[in-house]
Amino acid sequence: MTHPESELTQLEHIPTRIFGNADAACMTVADAITHLIESRNADGKPAVLGLATGSTPVRLYRELIRRHKEDGLSFANVITFNLDEYFGLPGDHPESYRKFMQDQLFDHVDLKPENTHVPDGMVHREDVFASCQAYEEAIEAAGGIDIQILGIGRTGHIGFNEPGSAPDSLTRLVTLDSLTRRDAARDFLGEENVPRHAITMGVGTILAARQVFLLAWGEGKATIMAKTVEGPQTEAIPATFLQRHEGCSFCIDESAASQLTRIRLPWLVGRIEWTPEVTRQAVLWLAQKVDKPLLRLVDEDYTENGMADLLVEQGSAYDLNIHLFNITQHTITGWPGGKPNADDSNRPERATPYPKRSLILSPEPLDDVYCLGGTINRLKKHGNEVSIAYQTSGNLAVPDVEVRRAIELMIELGEERSGQEDLDYVKTVEAQLDAKGDFGADSTEIRQLKGLIRRSEARSSARTLGLETDALHFLDLPFYEEGRYRRFVAGERDTARMRELLETIRPHQIFATGYGNDPLSVPALSFEVLRAALAACAGSDWIKDCNIWLYKGPAQEWEAHEIDMAVPLSPSELENKIQGIYQHQTQRSQSPISGDKRVNNTWDLAREINRTTAELYDAIGLAEYEAMECLKKFTFDQ
């Protein structure tokens, strides 16, 4: 028996709707915007929209463009005000928010250019105050904002209202938080290139809008979402001030909702149905909460933590403890490809066929070794046919200094040995690099060279894990090669390339990642391409006998109750994996893009995460290992 929604949402201070995916949420918001535009049109008045940038609203904008092109929705009567702009960036800079809005929305609908407003990032320091005041006045002159669209930053910022912003703050110049700048590092090809200041509407400006929709997708937003919806109002998390707004609602996907109490700890807020999954989630949480091994939990631990009815339903603490201990114990295996000639009734992976064809999918080079270095090494040692497919080239993540070094090497070598033609080519690329400036886009030739650098690192890394380089496949999916961050669109050609690989390998097991990530991120799109390719292979025999194992992705790990396979690593296996990671030298200064931790060294974090998982297993009363890599079993009806 499930209790009413109101009971489960009792800790939430903002109406929050959870959608199966971002597209479904965007439809709802697009409906509200359409309704506003149409009713204002009928009254002969303009509709005033407050708009946001970032990955989050891109799908909403795509839907609005579709409605304009296919359903005749007109924006002729719409006035827009954007939240913010980087200070010091001209409007035609590839990373300016003005440019972003032109590319993602304005250029594709019939908005009048004079009706679109984005704060001017190039205003002189001494004129900033007046310019911000003028922005406020323009909003007022337009009649105020009818619907404000918001994303949220991981610091809890809305617009660029970083922690410390007051609820009555207005449009002004602000300093960006270091986490915000780190999150933008990929867009700017390095954190050092991210502007330090921005002009943003204030929290007060946002709160003055008549209706506010905040959107959020992916697990990267889950922690800040829970704090914003359930926590107290505080300047430390400016988005919490939205709790004051009667007309504010959040439209988020399941991943962004995953840390809300009604999803993470539903037994604390209502009477729930104790399915095997929730029972596992609850008991493993309980052991960690009271800091006891599973087999030492007692009735009081259950009753004092909202789980009294579970005891009544399923017997005593003793029975539950043993049951959950066994389930957890059976997730541990040193044989990720299955153990041949062994009883496999309680093993995560089946014993036959043996050896297996194991396919590791890595959205970019490095994800494979970072998350599964130990597992790959074991699969290979046990005689399985291991292949790694790098879905994208990862060339956008190679800093210019790396490619310049390679070019100089080639020129030197060319001058000594090779023909003039090769040398001319390399010199052309060098000239392109010189001409590119700090923020220019890479030419096709530069991207190709950067992709080759990452291939060489991937080969070197795979060798460390015991693989031959002919086991590696570089798919260079077109969505990535032809796109840039936050603007990727995957399509038929991506699916076809992925499908061809699957049909060639016909794997018995696939290790993949990207499920639950921000839908415009590289891992999420790579995962969607896999999903489409598997659907296209549905008629093939091999697919009926293929297990899919999900790894969580760099800088993160599954929670205890989500783990279906835990692969222990010995101290030397862990060190070997770290050596494998070291081969990705161009990535040493890149910080992981997901996860909440602030770290300076990606490589050390891999070690820390694997050790932390092993410590967790130890703490809940299982064997004590040095480190562990974890996987979750996946089926595509999810």
341: left (phi over 0), alpha (psi -120 to 50) or beta: left
Q: How far apart are the first and last CA of the chain?
A: 23
CB of 155 to ligand GLP, least distance (A): 9
* Alpha-carbon dihedral sign for residues 171, 174, 180, 182: positive
Q: Using CA atoms, how far apart are residues 462 and 454, in angstroms rounded to an integer? A: 12
User: Annotated catalytic residue: which of 12, 85, 162, 573?
Assistant: 162
Shorter beta-carbon distance to ligand GLP: residue 57 or 478 = 57
Q: Using CA atoms, how far apart are residues 623 and 397, in angstroms rounded to an integer? A: 39
629 labelled catalytic: no
Query: What are the start-end ranges of the E strands in 145-196?
Result: 147-150, 172-175
CA distances from 191 to 87, 397, 591, 600 (A): 16, 12, 9, 12
Shorter beta-carbon distance to ligand GLP: residue 180 or 321 = 180
Shorter beta-carbon distance to ligand GLP: residue 195 or 580 = 195
Shorter beta-carbon distance to ligand GLP: residue 201 or 433 = 201
CB of 297 to ligand GLP, least distance (A): 39
Query: What are the start-end ranges of the E strands in 172-210?
Result: 172-175, 197-200
- 3-class SS of residue 358: strand
**Strand order across the beta sheet in which 78-82 lies:** 16-19, 248-253, 211-216, 147-150, 47-51, 78-82, 116-117
CB of 103 to ligand GLP, least distance (A): 14
Alpha helices in 558-632 (DSSP H): 571-582, 602-619
* Token duo for residue 171: 């449009």
- 3-class SS of residue 547: strand
| 219 in Cβ contact with 255 (< 8 Å) | yes
436 sits in which H/E element: helix 420-436
CB of 19 to ligand GLP, least distance (A): 16
Shorter beta-carbon distance to ligand GLP: residue 151 or 595 = 151
548 sits in which H/E element: strand 547-550
- 3-class SS of residue 523: helix
* Token duo for residue 633: 């079993």
Q: Using CA atoms, how far apart are residues 515 and 523, in angstroms rounded to an integer? A: 8
Shorter beta-carbon distance to ligand GLP: residue 485 or 511 = 485
CB of 514 to ligand GLP, least distance (A): 16
| 50 in Cβ contact with 81 (< 8 Å) | yes
Shorter beta-carbon distance to ligand GLP: residue 80 or 610 = 80
CB of 447 to ligand GLP, least distance (A): 22
Shorter beta-carbon distance to ligand GLP: residue 155 or 328 = 155
Q: Using CA atoms, how far apart are residues 256 and 237, in angstroms rounded to an integer? A: 17
CB of 476 to ligand GLP, least distance (A): 25
**Could you please report the per-residue DSSP string of 468-483?**
-GGGEEE---HHHHT-
CB of 113 to ligand GLP, least distance (A): 22
Report the candidate in 210, 588, 551 with the shortest Cα–Cα distance to residue 399: 588
Shorter beta-carbon distance to ligand GLP: residue 53 or 495 = 53
CB of 298 to ligand GLP, least distance (A): 44
553: left (phi over 0), alpha (psi -120 to 50) or beta: left
Q: Using CA atoms, how far apart are residues 603 and 305, in angstroms rounded to an integer? A: 38
CB of 339 to ligand GLP, least distance (A): 43
Report which residue type is found at 623.
A
**Cβ–Cβ contacts within 10 Å for residue 192, how many?**
11
Report which residue type is found at 522.
V
Shorter beta-carbon distance to ligand GLP: residue 55 or 513 = 55
Q: State the residues that interact with ligand GLP by CB under 6 A.
A: 52-56, 83-84, 151-153, 159-160, 180
- Residues labelled as active-site residues: 162
